[in-house]
Amino acid sequence: MTEKVRPRRKLAPRKGVAAAAAARTPQRQARAAARRDAILAAALDEFSAKGFAAARLDDVAKRADVAKGTIYLHFADKESLFQELIRVMLSPMIGAIAALGAGDMPMNVLGERFIDLFVREVYDTRRRDVIRLIITEGRRFPKLAEFYYREVLSRLIETVRTLLRRALERGELADDALVRFPQLLVAPGIIAIFWSGLFDRFEPLDVRAMMRANLDHLFATRRPA
Amino acid sequence: MTEKVRPRRKLAPRKGVAAAAAARTPQRQARAAARRDAILAAALDEFSAKGFAAARLDDVAKRADVAKGTIYLHFADKESLFQELIRVMLSPMIGAIAALGAGDMPMNVLGERFIDLFVREVYDTRRRDVIRLIITEGRRFPKLAEFYYREVLSRLIETVRTLLRRALERGELADDALVRFPQLLVAPGIIAIFWSGLFDRFEPLDVRAMMRANLDHLFATRRPA
DNA sequence: TGAATATGACTGACTGGTCAGTCATATTAT
DNA sequence: ATAATATGACTGACCAGTCAGTCATATTCA
């Protein structure tokens, strides 16, 4: 009987998510939305700095300049806040991914575009912290991992695969390695995200340069000696 | 309040001979060491499963079949236990890295060796969890990150760089990209470690195959089209 | 030899601080 | 006025860390 202790919660506090259902006034609506955003921004700061478990909602509230109770007007609990944060930060990317599949440029140009997109839209952005959070906390939030895989990763991978298959047929690729492992394209980017948080003080790393070096080799048209 | 008299230790009994040498009998010593190991093993399980902050020392004790107080006979506090765990798991690698620089085989062979070493000594091992822990918790334990960088990473990087420079001079490499970014060699391995914990249930990933595909391209001798 | 004594590894109930989540009260927009 | 919002003091579960006490083993001495 190594059972976990029963959680508290005597009644389902069905608020959180749908605080907008009632308020129709522009005034209130705007104010509420602003607060929600402030809370999300503060949450990102706190979760990024301390990790999910060690982050304190009192600190989130303080940072958002809001009372702790207010958080519970917008989010059901700490976990919902965390998951919502990830969702909100990533949803803009979902649409952007589709747009990526449209172009029809040669590989070397597309590669450059890809690096630029990654650095500008992720690495130099708060989304870098979001990616970090998904990877570091994802194991304990299977729902979150699934959401990320379904809504972002799988789509991104499928899009990239399509582009790569086209390139392969055009003879711009030496083999199907990248079609089988599109992960190789972003791998250096992900590594750089973690490196920057851990070892930059000892040995800084130039993401762009590393990603470019990687791409140059991945797109080489000759097999190894 | 019942006044319990403490009859312990009335007078120094001066045993003579080796009183100061302490009663570190082989018997007791062995037993204590076994306990320590059990605690470390349990700690690895718990920290891996829940992360540092959410892991409970009561659970570590239960899993190690030891009372909670016993943990504190071997480690100063939760953080020390964590850091010691990492140290103990990684120290065997410190020596192994030096041995790696000895060989003088051609790149393609060395590459295969590298993959094999990584998969056998890290990926298929509890060390995979240790690497994961360092990367996920490292930010909050700067001391740990520094230890890992100084004792493991920097040495590994330097060793690999030496081998790569040699290969470059031998004309086995197209450019100095790998010398500048040796991280590119392990990047797929690290990615696989995280992928396996997050997305394997949706789309499994063959580490060996991915690392090999990566190496094939990194060691290509011709520049891109 | 073995009874008496000493040792320190081990135990687990307990303490004190922490923090997620609640709710009675106060504030604000309509 | 009054419904919608916001507040922050409060509750109680939780857990790292403590320490008085136990017991198996080692040592001493008759």
Q: What is the pLDDT of residues B35-74, one digit of tens each?
A: 999 999 999 999 999 999 999 999 999 999 999 999 999 9
| A141 chain-B contacts, CB cut-off 8 A | none
* Cβ–Cβ gap A154/B188 under 8 Å: no
Question: Taking 90 as the threshold, does the pLDDT of residue A1 lie above it?
Answer: no
Question: What pLDDT band is residue B82 in, cutting at 50, 70 and 90?
Answer: very high
Is residue A7 scored above 60 in pLDDT? no
Q: Give the pLDDT score at B97.
A: 87
Report the helix count and the strand count for chain B, using DSSP H and E. 11, 0
Question: What is the reported pLDDT for A110?
Answer: 86
Q: What is the pLDDT of residue B27?
A: 74
Q: Lowest-pLDDT range, A97-111, A129-143, B27-41?
A: A97-111
How does the average pLDDT of chain A come out, rounded? 87
* pLDDT over 70 percentage in chain B: 86
Residues of A in contact with B152 (CB under 8 A): none
Answer whether residue A80 shows pLDDT above 90: yes
Does residue A171 come out as left (phi exceeding 0), alpha (psi in the -120 to 50 range) or beta? left
**What pLDDT is recorded for position A8?**
30
Alpha carbon distances (Å) from B47 to B78, B83, B133, B193: 11, 11, 8, 16
Which nucleotide is closest to the Cα of A72 by its C1'? C21
Written as one string, the DSSP assignment of B12-64 is -----TTSTTTT--HHHHHHHHHHHHHHHHHHHHHHHHH-TTT--HHHHHHHH
Task: Tokens for A76, please give them.
Answer: 């059901």
Cα–Cα distance for residue pair A77/A14, rounded to 1 Å: 11
Give me the CA B87–C1' C12 separation in Å, rounded. 29
Q: Is the pLDDT of residue A157 over 90?
A: yes
- pLDDT for B222 equals 54
The answer to whether A202 faces chain B, any CB pair under 8 Å, is yes
pLDDT 10s digits, B197-225: 999 999 999 999 999 999 999 887 654 44
DSSP codes joined into one string, chain A: --PPPPP--SS----GGGTTTT---HHHHHHHHHHHHHHHHHHHHHHHHH-TTT--HHHHHHHHTS-HHHHHHH-SSHHHHHHHHHHHHHHHHHHHHHHHTT----HHHHHHHHHHHHIIIIITSTHHHHHHHHHHHGGG-HHHHHHIIIIIIHHHHHHHHHHHHHHHHTT-SSSSHHHH-THHHHHHHHHHHHHHHHTTTTS---HHHHHHHHHHHHT-SS-B-
For residues A162 and A178, give the distance between their C-alpha atoms in angstroms, rounded to a whole number.
11
**Using the CB atom, is residue B140 less than 7 Å from strand D?**
no
> Which nucleotide lies closest to B79 by the C1' atom and the CA atom?
D16
| Predicted confidence (pLDDT) per residue in A178-193, tens digit | 999 999 999 999 999 9
Q: Would you state the pLDDT for residue B56?
A: 98
Q: For B123-132, what is each residue's pLDDT tens digit? A: 999 999 999 9
Residue B214: count of CB within 10 angstroms of its CB: 28
pLDDT at B120: 95
More confident residue, B9 or B107: B107
* Degrees to nearest 5, angle at CA A220 with A219 and A223: 130
Angle at B18 between CA B15 and CA B24, to 5 degrees: 105
Distance in angstroms (rounded) separating the CA atoms of residues B48 and B128: 10
Of A51, A222, A224, which has the smallest distance from its Cβ to B140's Cβ? Answer: A51
Lowest mean pLDDT across A25-29, A155-159, B58-62, B148-152: A25-29
pLDDT computed for residue A116 by the predictor: 94
Is the CB of B153 inside 8 Å of chain A's CB atoms? yes
B29: left (phi over 0), alpha (psi -120 to 50) or beta: alpha
Residue A24, pLDDT score: 59
Which DSSP letter does residue B205 get? -
* pLDDT at position B20 over 90: no
Residues in CB range of A123: below 8 A, 6 or more apart: A189, A192, A193, A207
C-alpha A74/C-alpha A81 separation (Å) is: 8
pLDDT attached to residue B15: 34
pLDDT of residue A174: 86
pLDDT reported for residue B23: 41
Contact of A54 with chain B, judged by CB distance below 8 Å, is answered with yes
pLDDT of residue A99: 85
Q: Which residue of B has its CA nearest to A195?
A: B135
B90-98 average pLDDT score: 90
SS (H, E, C) A190-221: HHHHHHHHHCCCCCCCCHHHHHHHHHHHHCCC
